[in-house]
Structure 1
């Protein structure tokens, strides 16, 4: 009986310790996102390879690089895809057969795209959207429509990556970009609602430390502390 209790205690301690950390796959997702955001293509190559070694599929990494264009722009996203192609060619030349993984499922488009995007966003924040829109959306109804229809419908509805993974990609890119505190704070809050712990987000900042200057790292830590 004492041995059984000891095993249970050790299991709980082991679980609690690892609950404070990101998995190797999550760390790879974060590093790939941050390096793409800062256009560090030389540094990105080994991290892409490490991501594959950590069990990410080709389609998952490809989807991450596509997702990023919504936050860091098409040029960086395309350069990231080109870098990934070079990595895959090198690995094939070395006899490494990487897993392609699943393709995106067909999306039910019977509902208006704006309504689908609104539904996805409400699922992310786990609350109904308020009737009064933020000031920037009142100023530019176009950006509201593009966000709902394209970002949260066209992109977030694709199931190659989970919503939790997409938020990890997003906050990692925002930390790397810097000077976007309101957006970073909002997406970190969504990350908590999608299942990340505050300790894991602190581990994220630690993981991205090599890619962030002192100012960006300090700002990221301050936002996490405010959660």
Structure 2
């Protein structure tokens, strides 16, 4: 069905499937954290980024996560979202050393504080990832 003629429930279902595929439990838990307090925001998080943007055919999931962690790290004020998307990057096959290299590259354009904060966030996520003994879901 064309995106313009679909129902809100179809858009949400596509977004939820894309969110789960891209971020796994980390993404689902992130959205659930808002559901009780701001259910409309939780629904929009699923519908717009994942139902409309992440589900587009132009980029693969790995590239989308690389772009996302780069942008979040460069912002310098989105640590919770950065951690969720580092999990997502690992989930779709971005290697730990690639993530560190992305953040090292970031130092040139966003500054050392942003890069250092991103690497510290990655360190936390890597430790949790390893403790879960999660196998990578490569697309």
TM-score (norm 2): 0.76
The residue that corresponds to 1:221 in the other structure is 119
The residue that corresponds to 1:160 in the other structure is 58
Distance (whole Å) between structure 2 residues aligned to residue 138 and residue 159 of structure 1: 32
The residue that corresponds to 1:133 in the other structure is 32
Q: How does 1:25-104 map to 2 (within 5 A)?
A: none
Q: Deviations over 1:125-178 (max 9, x none)?
A: 234946x920x3321111111111111111111101111111111110011100
Which structure carries more relative contact order (alpha carbon 8 Å, separation 6+)? 1
Once the two structures are TM-superposed, the CA of residue 210 in structure 1 deviates from its matched residue by 0.7
The residue that corresponds to 2:86 in the other structure is 188
SS of aligned partner of 1:126? helix
Gaps of 5+ in 2: 127-139
Larger radius of gyration: 1
Alignment root-mean-square deviation, CA: 2.3
Q: Please state which structure has a larger fraction of its residues in helix.
A: 2
Alignment coverage as a number of residue pairs: 120
Distance (whole Å) between structure 2 residues aligned to residue 112 and residue 175 of structure 1: 32
Q: Displaced runs of 4+ in structure 1, greater than 6 A?
A: none
